Amino acid sequence: MAPQPEIARRNAILNALNSDQLSELVTKLEQVPLNLGDVLYQPNGAVEAIYFPITGVVSIIAELDADMTVEAASIGHEGMVGLTTFLDAGAPTERALVQVPGQALRMTADSFRAAATTDGPLYAALRRYTQAMLTQLARNAACNRVHSVRQRAARWLLMTADRMNDLSFDLTQEFLAQMLAVRRASVSDVAQSLAEEDCITYSRGTITILDRARLQDHACDCYAAITQAAERAAQPLTTADTLSAVPADLHPADQE
């Protein structure tokens, strides 16, 4: 059953569309759970479906060797899973893995290709999101290089809370260590220090943010940069946005 438009608007890309555009698109969507550990696509495998998260977090995982994986980017309600299909870039080279469970709206890759045409509003919204994703990738690369585990962990917790619309969520230290490419002991030390400062509590795999402002003080400025890029991408579309997504020789003004 197709979701109601108000549910679809919980995803920032879909929310950028006007009512008529969204009403047409939701007929191609279905609401599905994002279960912890679900693999949405594999390296060098076919992307059979596109996901627009409304809660939860999906990690794009790069496998460096048999024993090490690193999170290259993460996706929540601000984005979509399956960007290589939009870019027509062939099979993905990374894995898409659900790291915090939630809900998403799914459509087949074929339906997505038909909807994301170069003269449509979805195409324009996805161009904006692609720029936001490039910002996140660049920031993640720099952040992993120069910022401390404490700063990176604080940023990651803030971004997860934003995507869940909740200050409490399930997360194991083992999983967070894997995402940050550090030893579990390092994550344990950081979690303990943040708890001692009353920023968070951590119990039985559940993290609760007690003082968001204080936690943000411990995060690097990458959090603000990534969040601002996502907010810019989520703005409602204008006529200029839609026209800019159309090849110049197809603009209405050029046909007069």
Q: Return phi, psi of residue 66, to 5°.
A: -65, -25
Please check the confidence at residue 246 and state whether its pLDDT lies above 70: no
Its CATH architecture, for the domain 1-146, is Sandwich (2.60)
pLDDT at 135: 94
Q: Scan for tokens 């915090």, then name that residue.
A: 100
97: helix, strand or coil: strand
> Mean pLDDT score of the chain, rounded to an integer?
87
Domain locations in the chain?
Answer: 1-146, 148-219
156 token code pair: 């990651």
CA distance 176 to 164: 16
CB crowding 29-56: b at 16 or more within 10 Å, else e = bebeebebebebbeeeeebebbbbbbbb
Per-residue DSSP letter, 37: T
- Higher-confidence residue: 205 or 230? 230
Q: Beta strand 168-170 with 206-209: parallel, antiparallel or unpaired? A: antiparallel
Three-point CA angle 173, 138, 152, nearest 5°? 25
Pick the CATH number of 148-219 from 3.90.550.10, 3.50.50.60, 1.10.4030.10, 1.10.10.10: 1.10.10.10
Q: Scan for tokens 């977090």, then name that residue.
A: 57
Q: Residue 203: in which H helix or E strand, if any?
A: strand 200-203
pLDDT at 1: 67
* Residue in 10, 122, 5, 106 with CA at minimum distance from that of residue 50: 106
pLDDT at 242: 57
- What pTM does this model have? 0.86
CA distance 80 to 50: 7
Same fold, 1-146 and 148-219: no
Q: For residues 238, 128, 124 and 60, what is the CA-based torsion angle, rounded to 10 degrees?
A: -150
**Tens of pLDDT along 18-62?**
999 899 899 999 999 999 999 999 999 999 999 999 999 999 998
Three-point CA angle 146, 64, 57, nearest 5°? 75
pLDDT at 85: 94
Q: Which of 38-42, 139-143, 202-206 is predicted least confidently?
A: 202-206
